[in-house]
Amino acid sequence: MNKWIDIYNDVSTSKIGDVGYLVETLNTSNGVRLFSIRDRPLRTNQSREPRLYDWCGETDNKSRYARGAWKIVRLNRACDRAQIVRLEGEELAKFLEHDGYPELIPSDDAREAEILHRTSMLAHNPGAT
């Protein structure tokens, strides 16, 4: 799966081949969704546990969701948008192990649940992945 996102983190450091954690931020006041690639996994706002997938909490009307690990495969000319592809399977496991988060490697059951959740989310909001 691939998609284009606006890059809201430091664009000068984003390069083709970079891998990071995709974070979706939903402004619950106006419905605006923003995506960013981060160097670290998102943490829940209560327990501070790192998450690869799922809702991580809401603060100041901004609800944050961990959306997995993705790799930048293309940048537009202005370097403010990136085409990204989702890491899965062995590639995801190797990335998480190397990045120091082996506990985030999903089991097969967790992967199936995430796929079902993503499919349901797409049915209700075609622009979200």
pLDDT tens digits along 76-124: 998 888 999 999 999 999 999 999 999 999 886 555 555 555 555 555 5
Candidates 65, 68, 52, 82; CA nearest to 26 is 65
Cα-to-chain-centroid distance, residue 82: 13
Higher pLDDT, 80 or 57: 57
The Cα–Cα gap between 1 and 88 comes to 10
Largest CA distance in the chain: 40
Candidates 63, 73, 91, 78; CA nearest to 37 is 73
